[in-house]
Structure 1
Amino acid sequence: MNNLSFHITDIMANSIRAKASEIGLFIEERDLRITIRIADNGLGMDAGTIARVTNPFYTTRTTRKVGLGIPFLIQNAEQTGGAVSITSQPGKGTVVTASFCSNHIDCPPWGDLPGTVAMLITGNPDINICFEYQAVKTVFSISTSEIKEILDGIPLSYPKVMLLVKEMIKENIRP
């Protein structure tokens, strides 16, 4: 995974597969540190599963025999001097927090963060995705439920909605 947006997509896809109805994506950029936290109310994991998800040869998916998302996230965070933590409870959900030293030469670039968030929101209309971005002089948040209210009946799946959401995010954050 060569950018932070890919990591976000992968972790949020895990939340979606875990049947989450609420997913929070919280990003903070301060003091040369990027912190990404993804919290969901999905199925959750027991302590044994949490211990195994860092192993690239463990996955709960039946379509393949490896699960590289979390191990790559850990590798990318740690090689910048950052870290990853995972907390979870069966039936309550999971929280994945990753920190990166943004001035480290090995820190992955953002990729298309506005496009990624817009795609996740508009592509999953039945899940309330809350996105919050904080930097020194920037605070921005938006959620699926807020967008639905603004659109007043226009479906999230309408192609121009994704472009609108992407542009709104792009104008309000500057990663």
Structure 2
Amino acid sequence: MKELSMHILDIAMNSISAGSKLIEIIIEESNNSNLIKIIIKDDGCGMSDDTIKRVTDPFYTTRTTRKVGLGIPLLKEACERCNGYFNINSEIGKGTTVECSFERDNIDRAPVGNMGDTIITIINSLNNCELLYNYSTDEKSFVLSTLELRNILGGADIKSNDILLWVKEYINENMKNMSNY
């Protein structure tokens, strides 16, 4: 995948499929430690120990519509190629946490990408689920919470085109104002 945002989207869609009620996406970008760290947590159905061992195999998938599952294996390979790490923890009935890192200035690291488009795609796919997005650098951070947004909107449809466009612009504007972006 050409952007880290596409890996994030893939993992978040897995979380939605797992019946999550809350998905947390945390991106920490640091010049000081030369690191980009991504954490995606959910409270979905979780995975067995056997599934966790097999999930990085591109020829393993739990989907019945195809015989390969490339998202997680490609993310793991991208992390390792950039002197980072990949870790997945999961417990049945409790949820899953995917944590990975990339050497920030590594020539092979993909750009973070268009997080505005990624977040609105996730929001548009949510059903009875909330999203908490937190992006931080050494100096600044910002958070978008769909629960907080729903409370502010007071009943307006969070998936309406006008609101999704605003969310996209809000994320892109905040990320542009971050010193490392």
TM-score by length of 2: 0.93
Deviation at 1:63, TM superposition (A): 0.5
Match of 1:131 among 130, 133, 138: 133
Q: What residue in structure 2 maps to residue 27 of structure 1? A: 27
- How far apart, in 1, do the equivalents of 2:24 and 2:165 lie? 21
* Structure 1: unaligned runs, 5 residues or longer: none
2: CA distance, partners of 1:27 / 1:108: 14
The match for 1:75 is 77
Cα distance 1:37–1:82, how it changes in 2: closer, same or farther (>3 A)? same
Structure-2 separation of matches of 1:52 and 1:125:
28
> Paired residue for 1:36?
38
- Assess if the C-alpha contact under 8 Å between 2:114 and 2:172 holds in 1: no
Check the 8 A contact 1:27/1:34 in 2, yes or no: yes
Q: Which runs of 4+ in 1 moved over 6 A?
A: none
Match of 1:3 in 2: 3
Between the two proteins, what is the percent identity of the paired residues? 43
- Structure 1 residue 9: Cα displacement: 0.5
State the SS of the aligned residue for 1:64. Answer: coil
Q: How many residues align?
A: 175
**Aligned mates of 2:161, 2:116 — CA distance in 1:** 15
Does the Cα contact within 8 Å between 2:59 and 2:67 map onto a contact in 1?
A: yes
TM-score normalised to the size of structure 1? Answer: 0.96
Match of 1:57 among 56, 59, 74: 59
Q: Secondary structure, in 3 states, of the residue corresponding to 2:65?
A: coil
RMSD: 1.1
Instruction: Give 2:107's aligned residue.
Output: 105
Q: What SS does the aligned partner of 1:173 have? A: helix
CA displacement 1:124-149 (0-9 Å, x = unmatched): 15211000111012111111111111
Q: Deviations over 1:45-97 (max 9, x none)?
A: 11111000010000000000000011100111110000100000000000000
Show the counterpart of 2:161. 159
